[in-house]
Amino acid sequence: MYSYLIQRFLLMFLTLLGMSIIIFVLLRLVPGNIVDIMFDSAGFVDPAEKATIEKELGLDLPIYQQYYHWIAGLVSFDLGYSFVSEMPAIDEIGPRIPITAKLAGLSLFFSILFGLPLGVISAVKQNTALDYILRVFSLSGLSLPSFWLALLILMACVSYTGSIPIYTEAPETLWDELLLYLLPSAAVGFRASALIMRLTRSSMLEVMRQDYIRTAMSKGASDNAINYKHALRNAVLPVTTIIGIEAAFLIGGLIITETVFNIPGVAHFLVEAILMRDYPIVQSLVMFIAIIVVVINFLTDLAYAALDPRIKYSD
Amino acid sequence: MKVKLFKALAFAMVSASVFGIVSTSALAEKSGGIMKFYHRGTPPSGSIHEEATSSTVVPYMSVFNNLVMFDQAKPVNSAETIVPDLAKSWAWGGDKTKVTFSLRKGVKFHDGKPFTAKDVVCTWNLILGKSKAKLRKNPRKSWYKNLASVEANGDYEVTFNLKRRQPAFLMLLASGYSPVYPCHVPPKKMRTKPIGTGPFKFVSLKQNEHVKFTKNKNYWKKGRPLLDGHEWTIIKSRSTRVLGFIAGKFDMSFAGDISIPIYKDLIKQAPHAICEKHATNVSTNLIVNQFKPPFDNAKIRKAMVLTIDRASFNKILGHGEFIMSGAMLPPPHGVWGMPPEVLKTVAGYNPDVAANRAEAQKLMKSLGYGPDNRLKVKVATRNIAIYRDPAVLLIDHLKEIFIDAELDTVETSNWHAKVARKDYQVGLNLTGIGVDDPDAMFYENYACGSQRNYTGYCKEEMMALFEKQSMMDNGPERMKLVYEIDKKLQEDAARPIIANNVRYNCFQPYVKNFKTQTNSLYNGWRFEDIYLDK
């Protein structure tokens, strides 16, 4: 077990190192120079002024030196300064991470809360009217783009309540916060819940045809015990994988939802930073996301062992 | 005696009524409240002198004062609407080659330091590149090409020495783009935490979140500002911000943000909103790179001018509300634009599109192009709808003269760098102007060597004409010459104007004392007189 963990940590380190190189190089291969972009708001580019700014930002240094400075900064938790706002990158990124984390957590919570039980119900009630309704519901979840769903929600709110649930000021209480994030997280979580529901359903149907389920039935076990104790426990493994992947990819859905609901989270901020070629912000944020993805994958692998006693991590 | 009595009575009545009106309006004014706006995106910085975008000047103008400014209650900026600001008065000298300003005493910057003539000298030395401190970007260098020096005569008098006569110089100083900076604050700090003498103090800017300003309690103008502050929520999604305004989250829309189709939808959902239609002095124009063959040939450029069907642009994109003009915006929206009877004599402006195109085809055929030998080009434009949509129509119009064009959408943040590098053949651009005066327009966009002259248009005889009109006093003669110059610019395809855009500025009915300016997006945002009658 210990050597497995050491191997995984080593692999995580190598993955992150590779990621840092890819991020750094890709960002510089994207057409569009940061200084040119800074000049866009002035409507012209002055070559002399451009050279001065490049020097000021350290962009005149060879690329390996720029990379070294960045990595050295990362190791000492110095993320540098945002090229755009001229503020420390940590001050720009730090307050946004909890916002996105809350939104992502709530979205994931919604998707599991609805996806898992509805998937079980759909499987248990296979080919009934309820099953058909739930399948249509899940299909709509997969088909509706989240930005469109988010806009529909906003338009409905304005039309029917005369108010709009967007972020204009930081919520003061936990209740305000919950109210603010409820609709955006539902908009993001809808797609993930549909996916979880469909996968739970198919996985449950497969498991319910197994011999041990029939044995449990013949022994007189209750429906709930069969469905939730015997079937779901085994059916949930592939679902766990999907939840892990969805958690990592949630950031994609959040970009749009944060934009539409005007939530100042890290996802929307990342897109803006990419458009502005704000290297210190983009590099640091993508590295942060890479760390999250690697850690989630690691935790998902560990969760397999907890959920399925047959799985053992050996040397 | 009777006449005297009548005169006295009349005087008393007029005085009473005027006093009555004034006092009623003064009594009706309410202090307090924070005005809420939405903003379309994070301002690139708070330093007005380093930016050429409404994203900065609209929220930040109220942090500063100018020497002179345009009357905020008048919709059209002109020489007649210039009023004192930090300068109490001014006097021209040396046959309008120098202007001396007498400055207000007792004015303080937001950090408590006193304002003196030294600050004025520092500000314009910064723009002229004469100071040790440097601006990162200096977009209005071309405005001050004629400015030789700025001298302080003691603490409260300052003289601007011009290289030659320029009566319209005051127009440039009255723009929202001409604030006075404090000498003691470095340019870097002005970008992040600007300090001025204006009615509102900068509080904070959070990228993608908000910009906040609070009342300057020590403002030199007594009783002003009326608001306790103004705050801008940054909302990138246009649908969200318009819905936010409809739902009453915001008191006013962002400058120039409400297009004609959006206005039509908005007013149905928020019939109580007050929406003022206004010209923006932002034109949609064709840019042709005169350094890239075959566009170095004047004939092909003229053919391109002739094929443009401006009426269809107006009908499709402007719902018939766009303003047909040359470079300068015509009255009643602007001051210097050609009237319809002159405009229709300009090549390409004749409403007979078929005749224009027949002439254009003849020109193209004379260059060897025709139905069997079509010219293939790319039409570059910024990848946002207000640029893309007219570019698509332009491509359609170019087909009529044997030009097969392909749309080349450029990521928005790379657009100006691309056109400034002259890295395009044909493009579609939008041009806004800070001041509705030929000096600003011609020197910024059409003069040889100007950084914002994207097409590279440069003619000695035109430079001489720019100079000539610049030295003239306002009046029919200057007006006539400006028409002549504008006509030549359009026919030379220097940067043919397709249409002058019209937008709506919407605010809630309780917003009082605000007047939308019609010939500039950049000069009417001091906010010191606005109040909320809630």
- The C-alpha of A227 sits at a distance from chain B's nearest C-alpha, in angstroms, of 44
Q: What SS3 class is residue A308?
A: coil
Q: Do B243 and A39 touch (CB under 8 A)?
A: no
- The C-alpha of B240 sits at a distance from chain A's nearest C-alpha, in angstroms, of 6
Q: Pick B244's closest partner by Cβ from A85, A92, A164.
A: A164
Q: Judged by CB atoms within 8 Å, which residues 156-185 of B form the interface with A?
A: none
- Measure the CA–CA gap between B174 and B66, rounded to whole angstroms: 7
Token readout for B152 is 């302080």
B28-52 confidence digits (pLDDT tens): 899 999 999 999 999 999 999 999 8
- The C-alpha of B60 sits at a distance from chain A's nearest C-alpha, in angstroms, of 15
- Measure the CA–CA gap between B345 and A61, rounded to whole angstroms: 56
Phi, psi (rounded to 5 degrees) for A127: 65, 25
- The C-alpha of A175 sits at a distance from chain B's nearest C-alpha, in angstroms, of 20
B371-408 confidence digits (pLDDT tens): 999 999 999 999 988 899 999 999 999 999 999 999 99
- Measure the CA–CA gap between B442 and B462, rounded to whole angstroms: 10
Which pLDDT value is given to residue A314?
61
- Measure the CA–CA gap between B533 and B29, rounded to whole angstroms: 8
Lowest mean pLDDT among A136-145, A271-280, B10-19: B10-19
Q: Do A158 and B247 touch (CB under 8 A)?
A: yes
B17 CB-near residues (< 8 Å, 6+ apart): none
- Please check whether residue B337 is in contact with residue B325, taking contact to mean a CB–CB distance below 8 angstroms: yes
Q: Judged by CB atoms within 8 Å, which residues 58-117 of B form the interface with A?
A: none
Q: Is B95 left (phi over 0), alpha (psi -120 to 50) or beta?
A: left
Percent of chain A with pLDDT over 70: 98
The secondary structure element, H or E, covering residue B157 is strand B157-162
Pick the residue from chain A with its C-alpha nearest to B136: A49
A72 CB-near residues (< 8 Å, 6+ apart): none
Q: Which of A98, A111, A263, A97 is nearest to A180 (CA)?
A: A263
Spell out which residues of chain A touch residue B136, defining contact as CB-CB under 8 Å: 38, 49, 52-53
Q: Number of helices and strands (H, E) in chain A?
A: 14, 0
Q: pLDDT-derived band of residue B14, with 50, 70 and 90 as boundaries?
A: very low
Q: Do A264 and B137 touch (CB under 8 A)?
A: no
Q: Mean pLDDT over all residues of chain A?
A: 88
Q: Do B420 and A33 touch (CB under 8 A)?
A: no
Spell out which residues of chain B touch residue A92, defining contact as CB-CB under 8 Å: 207
- Residues B416-427, mean pLDDT to the nearest whole number: 89
B283 bridge partner residues: B431, B500
Q: Do A154 and B42 touch (CB under 8 A)?
A: no
Q: What's the sign of the alpha-carbon dihedral B515, B516, B517, B521?
A: positive
Q: Which of A263, A232, A243, A94 is nearest to A168 (CA)?
A: A263
- Measure the CA–CA gap between A134 and A150, rounded to whole angstroms: 21
A71-126 confidence digits (pLDDT tens): 999 888 888 899 988 889 999 999 999 999 899 999 999 999 999 999 999 999 99
Which pLDDT value is given to residue B485?
97
- The C-alpha of A61 sits at a distance from chain B's nearest C-alpha, in angstroms, of 20
Strands (E), B375-496: 375-382, 403-410, 426-432
Tell me how far CA of residue B42 lies from CA of A264, B393, B499, in angstroms.
12, 31, 28
Token readout for B64 is 């500063």
Phi, psi (rounded to 5 degrees) for A85: -90, -15
Gyration radius from chain A CA atoms: 24
Residue B26: half-sphere exposure toward Cβ, Cα within 13 Å = 9
B311-348 confidence digits (pLDDT tens): 999 999 999 999 999 999 999 999 999 999 999 999 88
Pick the residue from chain A with its C-alpha nearest to B240: A260
Residue B511: half-sphere exposure toward Cβ, Cα within 13 Å = 24
B87 bridge partner residues: B103
Q: Pick A44's closest partner by Cβ from B55, B205, B452.
A: B452
Strands (E), A167-265: none
Q: Which residues of A touch B (CB under 8 A)?
A: 31-33, 36-46, 49, 52-53, 82, 84-87, 92, 151, 154-155, 157-159, 162-164, 166, 168, 259-262, 264, 268-269, 272, 275-277
Q: Do B243 and A87 touch (CB under 8 A)?
A: no
Tell me how far CA of residue B437 lies from CA of B48, B166, B178, B336, B444, in angstroms.
20, 12, 15, 7, 11
Q: Do B207 and A40 touch (CB under 8 A)?
A: no
- The C-alpha of B8 sits at a distance from chain A's nearest C-alpha, in angstroms, of 57
Give me the residue label for tokens 């009023």. B83
Tell me how far CA of residue B83 lies from CA of A25, A69, B71, B94, B284, in angstroms.
54, 53, 6, 22, 31
- Please check whether residue B178 is in contact with residue B63, taking contact to mean a CB–CB distance below 8 angstroms: no
Spell out which residues of chain A touch residue B49, defining contact as CB-CB under 8 Å: none
> Which amino acid appears at position B136 of this protein?
R
B100-126 confidence digits (pLDDT tens): 999 999 999 999 999 999 999 999 999
Q: Mean pLDDT over all residues of chain B?
A: 92
CB atoms within 10 A of CB B154: 9
Q: Do B235 and A154 touch (CB under 8 A)?
A: no
- Please check whether residue A138 is in contact with residue A302, taking contact to mean a CB–CB distance below 8 angstroms: no
Spell out which residues of chain A touch residue B186, defining contact as CB-CB under 8 Å: none
- Please tell me which residue, B236 or B229, carries the higher pLDDT value: B229
Pick the residue from chain B with its C-alpha nearest to A32: B414
- Measure the CA–CA gap between B57 and B49, rounded to whole angstroms: 9
B486-523 confidence digits (pLDDT tens): 999 998 889 999 999 999 999 999 999 999 999 999 99
Provide the pairing of β-strand B157-162 with B98-103: antiparallel
Which of A33, A38, A40, A96 is the best substitution to test chain B (most B C-beta atoms within 10 A)? Answer: A40
Q: Do B414 and A40 touch (CB under 8 A)?
A: yes
Q: Pick A32's closest partner by Cβ from B207, B246, B414.
A: B414
Spell out which residues of chain B touch residue A42, defining contact as CB-CB under 8 Å: 50-53, 137-139, 416
In chain B, what are the helix, strand and coil shares in percent, each to the nearest 5? Answer: 35, 20, 45
- Residues B251-274, mean pLDDT to the nearest whole number: 95
Provide the pairing of β-strand B375-382 with B426-432: parallel
- Please check whether residue B468 is in contact with residue B484, taking contact to mean a CB–CB distance below 8 angstroms: no
Q: Do A154 and B191 touch (CB under 8 A)?
A: no
**B8 has pLDDT over 50:** no
What order do you get walking across the sheet with B157-162 strand by strand?
A: B87-93, B98-103, B157-162, B147-152
Q: Judged by CB atoms within 8 Å, which residues 387-416 of B form the interface with A?
A: 411-416
Which pLDDT value is given to residue B6?
45
- The C-alpha of B453 sits at a distance from chain A's nearest C-alpha, in angstroms, of 9
A4 CB-near residues (< 8 Å, 6+ apart): A313, A314, A315
**B370 has pLDDT over 60:** yes
> Which amino acid appears at position B467 of this protein?
E
Chain-centre distance for alpha carbon B57 = 10
Q: What SS3 class is residue A94?
A: coil
Token readout for A256 is 């749009």
- Residues B413-436, mean pLDDT to the nearest whole number: 90
Q: Pick B50's closest partner by Cβ from A42, A154, A157.
A: A42
Which of A41, A183, A261 is the best substitution to test chain B (most B C-beta atoms within 10 A)? Answer: A41
Q: What SS3 class is residue B501?
A: strand
- Residues B427-455, mean pLDDT to the nearest whole number: 92
Give me the residue label for tokens 């002159």. B342
Spell out which residues of chain A touch residue B40, defining contact as CB-CB under 8 Å: none
Q: Do B52 and A262 touch (CB under 8 A)?
A: no
* Chain pair A-B, CB pairs under 8 angstroms: 140
Which pLDDT value is given to residue B9?
44
Q: Do B207 and A38 touch (CB under 8 A)?
A: no
Q: What is the DSSP string of A176-207?
A: HHHHHHHHHHHHHHHHHHHHHHHHHHHHHHHH
Residue B145: half-sphere exposure toward Cβ, Cα within 13 Å = 16
Q: What SS3 class is residue A37?
A: helix
Q: Pick A41's closest partner by Cβ from B55, B247, B248.
A: B55
- Please check whether residue A309 is in contact with residue A19, taking contact to mean a CB–CB distance below 8 angstroms: no
**B5 has pLDDT over 50:** no
Alpha helices in B273-407 (DSSP H): 298-307, 310-318, 340-343, 353-366, 385-399
Q: Which of A274, A236, A266, A235 is nearest to A250 (CA)?
A: A266
**B60 has pLDDT over 80:** yes
Give me the residue label for tokens 């942090």. B63
Q: Do A37 and B240 touch (CB under 8 A)?
A: no
Q: What SS3 class is residue B405?
A: strand
Q: What SS3 class is residue B44?
A: coil
